[in-house]
């Protein structure tokens, strides 16, 4: 069976998927500011199953250092409170009826540096994913070359396109990381 032609747009799409995943992971990384994405990964024991917190409550940011969680069902307030406390985020909600107020504490210098290390780890995972897609693209080019399905000039051109796409996405990941690092270290 002949190898299908290389689809550069598909490779770029997959590389961008790694970037989007990286951005999503960084969104959950705590900075000094309140962000709804900080508690979105929290899972609540609700109605006999685990549900994301945004399926049982509305999360808002009324102040720069405060999150407000409006629980829809009064019977779920204790479960949401317990889920946030046990999520190991270092947050302690204050219950006011059906509303949980969460004050975001200041990060000390050591904790900020730990957050930066975690951000770098996420960035490296994203770079590895991008390089993996690049490797698959290069392998596909080799197969096409071996089968004589494309000309030598096209081989070099396609390799350059794959490498340029990889370099572009890695540079984007580095830029996002630098912005997040600056945001974390900002006092």
- Distance (Å, whole) CA 171 – CA 187: 26
Domain boundaries, the chain: 8-27+108-185, 36-103
Beta bridge pairs of residue 43: 52
The pTM of the full predicted model, rounded to 2 decimals, is 0.67
Is 36-103 CATH 3.30.1360.40? Answer: yes
**Mind spelling out the 3-state secondary structure of 135-150?**
HHHHHHHHHHHHCCCC
Domain covering 8-27+108-185 in this structure, CATH number: 1.10.132.20
- Distance (Å, whole) CA 67 – CA 57: 12
In the prediction, which pLDDT does 31 show? 65
Range 128-138 burial, b when 16+ CB lie within 10 A, else e: ebbeebbeebb
In the prediction, which pLDDT does 125 show? 93
Mean pLDDT per block of 10 residues along the chain (187 residues) reads 73 92 79 74 85 88 87 90 82 88 82 84 93 93 87 87 94 93 80
């Amino acid at each position: 069976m002949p190898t299908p032609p290389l689809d550069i747009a598909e490779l770029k799409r997959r590389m961008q998927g790694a970037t989007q995943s990286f951005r999503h992971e960084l969104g959950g990384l705590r900075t000094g500011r309140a962000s709804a994405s900080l508690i979105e990964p929290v899972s609540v024991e609700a109605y006999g199953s685990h549900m994301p917190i945004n399926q049982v409550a509305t999360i808002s940011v009324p102040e720069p250092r405060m999150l407000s969680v409006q629980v829809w069902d009064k019977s779920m307030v204790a479960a949401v409170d317990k889920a946030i406390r046990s999520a190991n985020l270092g947050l302690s909600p204050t219950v006011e009826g059906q509303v949980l107020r969460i004050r975001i504490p200041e990060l000390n210098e050591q904790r900020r540096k730990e957050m930066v290390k975690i951000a770098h780890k996420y960035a490296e995972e994203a770079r590895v994913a991008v390089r993996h897609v690049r490797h698959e693209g290069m392998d596909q080019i080799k197969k096409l070359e071996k089968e004589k399905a494309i000309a030598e000039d096209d081989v070099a051109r396609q390799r350059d396109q794959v490498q340029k796409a990889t370099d572009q996405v890695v540079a984007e990941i580095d830029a996002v990381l630098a912005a997040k690092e600056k945001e974390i270290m900002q006092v």
